[in-house]
Amino acid sequence: MAHWTPADIPDQTGRTALITGANSGIGLETARELAARGARVILAGRDQTKLDEAVATVHAATPRAEATTLVLDLSDLTSVRRAAQRIAATETIDMLFNNAGVMNLPTRLTTRDGFEMTMGTNHLGHFALDALLWPAVRRSIAARVVTVSAIAARWPFGKLDDLMSDYNYSGMAAYAKSKRANIVYTLELARRTVHTPIEAIVVHPGSAMTSLQRHGTGALTRILTPLAARMLMGSPAGAAWPSLYAATTPDITSGEFIGPAGRDQTSGTPRPAKLPKGAADSELGARLWADSERLTGVTFQL
């Protein structure tokens, strides 16, 4: 496979991208690169001030960029419904990036709707958002839904039992579980849209020093995180490559899992990656889909 970089992204004029978690890190880099190639970008996040700062960053790189904001809190289904209603009514979404997330929360917290915070934000919030945005996605003649998972999805304690971590909680186990749910959900979405022009792709960004890593606690984390940043992790710009590749490469296949090709898959040019064991199980996908509809109260009308 040839070495791919964002310089290979074709012209995106006339296409609209909605990116969750777009005020920083991978989401902001994704918005910046797409705007530079002519796409209209909608930056979604919880804080309007931070979103305005992110738009300013996009405009600093591409002064004539079309960039707007959408206030969205994925841990609050009322906020999800409000944000989606605004978009679904009139917009056409050609690229939908399920990018936002939380990681390694030291104690078990719950969303406003009573879900474990990591699963509620990383998976259930995005599931509900996608379902409610679907009229805008269907208006596109060639839409792509790109969901950002993580290498952690392969960890053995990330299995999708005890979905809300009611019986046993650790921050990293909850994160791994939510990232596996991202993959299982995306593969099920690909199966359910197989006879449509919509493609669903899941990616993992490798390792990058973003705001997610700052949730770690304890002396060991404080020592190792800066070391990891220097020795193991790539930049947020590089970590956005799999998302950008998945959204814009012409010959991508719905249902693919894309990650960086470098050593230990921490960075490098994007390429197809190995799925976690069992993630492609259609029965697991159907079960997670049904559980997600039941928990959120949102029916996904494909």
Q: How far is CA 183 from CA 174, 216, 255, 260, in A?
A: 15, 24, 9, 16
Distance of CA 32 to the CA centre of its chain: 16
Of 171, 98, 104, 183, give the one whose Cα is nearest residue 133.
98
DSSP 8-state symbol, 209: -
Give me the helix-helix angle, 25-36 and 48-61, nearest 10°.
Answer: 40
The amino acid present at 132, given as its one-letter code, is L
Torsions phi, psi for 135 (to 5 deg): -55, -35
Hey, is 219 helix, strand or coil? helix
Instruction: For Cα atoms 300, 301, 302, give the angle at the middle one, nearest 5 degrees.
Output: 105
Of 177, 146, 191, give the one whose Cα is nearest residue 285.
191
The amino acid present at 60, given as its one-letter code, is A
Catalytic residue, chosen from 167, 175, 185, 245, is 175
CB 121 within 8 A of CB 111: yes
CB 259 within 8 A of CB 271: yes
CB 72 within 8 A of CB 128: no
Q: How far apart are the first and last CA of the chain?
A: 34
Question: Which residues touch 220 (CB under 8 Å, ≥6 apart)?
Answer: none
Active site residue 175: yes
Which residues carry out catalysis?
A: 175
